Amino acid sequence: QVQLQQWGAGLLKPSGTLSLTCAVYGGSFTGYYWSWIRQPPGKGLEWIGEINHSGTTNYNPSLKSRVTLSVDTSKNQFSLKLRSVTAADTAVYYCVREDCSAGTCSHFDSWGQGTLVTVSS
Amino acid sequence: EIVLTQSPGTLSLSPGERATLSCRASQSLSSSYLAWYQQKPGQAPRLLIYGASSRATGIPDRFSGSGSGTDFTLTITRLKPEDFAVYYCQQYGSSPPGYTFGQGTKLEIK
């Protein structure tokens, strides 16, 4: 049973850089895409981007200019950096595994515990 | 970008009743790329249905999904107290690659 454990700073000042890391335990790291999803307090879910073990990435166009995803296959970890944050970036951030068993990755079957990131001066 | 619109925004029902939640897409999408999630307060979402109608591992058979094209439905029969939560639909698009979610339907106890 795969487990995703995430960590990172929970309080940032405006214009700073959000940085989160997610470690994958108990399952294969290759053969999947790994995503970040966020959820502002009391609101819905927003996909941020995805990366695979080779470092191939896709980003949400609305965030693409500020986001960088990276991967460390030696540690089965992947990371999120979001630059120039504002209060609008305050949200719970989740790391997630995409299910690619049907040949195309199309949904999310395992989630991290979530990290609340607050942007405030 | 495909936009998903869920209705109703809030659904008030009693335990034992049947819930019907709707997800409408702004353009036709492959049934293979439509999923449903359940989220309870303070928890991460949980996958219920993928491929529009396939139940995820461990999901009871009172949850079912249907639909095609632009109209998709999540049905929950014989509601139990633990089913009251927020439900999201989600689609995957390949050009450009990415995911979008509906705004959610809150299922509350009447």
Q: What is the 3-state secondary structure (H, E, C) of chain B?
A: CCCEEEECCEEEECCCCCEEEEEEEEEEECHHHEEEEEECCCCCCEEEEECCCEECCCCCCCEEEEEEEEEEEEEECCCCHHHCCEEEEEEEEECCEEEEECCCEEEEEC
Give the pLDDT of residue A74.
95
The reply to whether residue B88 touches residue A45, judged by beta carbons under 8 angstroms, is yes
Q: Who's near B49: CB < 8 A, 6+ residues apart?
A: B35, B36, B55, B56, B59, B63, B64, B65, B74
The reply to whether residue B92 touches residue A61, judged by beta carbons under 8 angstroms, is no
The answer, yes or no, to whether residue B1 has pLDDT greater than 90, is no
Which residues of chain A are within 8 Å of residue B46 when distances are taken between CB atoms? 111
Chain B's closest residue to A102, CA to CA, is B32
Q: Which of A58, A102, A113 sits opposite B98 (nearest CB)?
A: A58
The span from the CA of A69 to the CA of A57, in Å, is 7
SS3 (DSSP) at A89: helix
The reply to whether residue A106 touches residue B97, judged by beta carbons under 8 angstroms, is no
pLDDT band at B91 (very low <50, low <70, confident <90, very high): very high
Eight-class DSSP state of A88 = G
B96: preceding bond cis by omega (within 30 degrees):
yes
Candidates A107, A110, A115, partner chain B, best to mutate (most B CBs within 10 A): A107
Using alpha carbons, select from A106, A105, A97 the residue that is nearest to residue A36.
Answer: A97
Give the pLDDT of residue B100.
96
What are the distances in angstroms from CA B40 to CA B3, B5, B58? 24, 20, 17
pLDDT tens figures, B18-50: 999 999 999 999 888 999 999 999 999 999 999
pLDDT tens figures, B44-85: 999 999 999 999 999 999 999 999 999 999 999 999 999 999
Chain A's closest residue to B93, CA to CA, is A106
Give the pLDDT of residue A104.
81
How many Cβ atoms sit within 10 Å of the Cβ of residue B75?
Answer: 14
pLDDT tens figures, A57-105: 999 999 999 999 999 999 999 999 999 999 999 999 999 999 888 778 8
The reply to whether residue A107 touches residue B102, judged by beta carbons under 8 angstroms, is no
Give the pLDDT of residue B103.
98
The answer, yes or no, to whether residue B97 has pLDDT greater than 90, is no
Contact (CB, 8 A) for B62 and B17 = no
Q: Which of B44, B56, B92 sits opposite A114 (nearest CB)?
A: B44
SS3 (DSSP) at A41: coil
- Tell me whether A27 touches chain B (CB under 8 Å): no
pLDDT band at B94 (very low <50, low <70, confident <90, very high): confident
- Tell me whether A86 touches chain B (CB under 8 Å): no
The span from the CA of B44 to the CA of B75, in Å, is 21
Using alpha carbons, select from B84, B79, B82 the residue that is nearest to residue B63.
Answer: B79
The reply to whether residue B45 touches residue A108, judged by beta carbons under 8 angstroms, is yes
pLDDT tens figures, A57-70: 999 999 999 999 99
Eight-class DSSP state of A73 = T
Q: Mean pLDDT, chain B, as a whole number?
A: 96
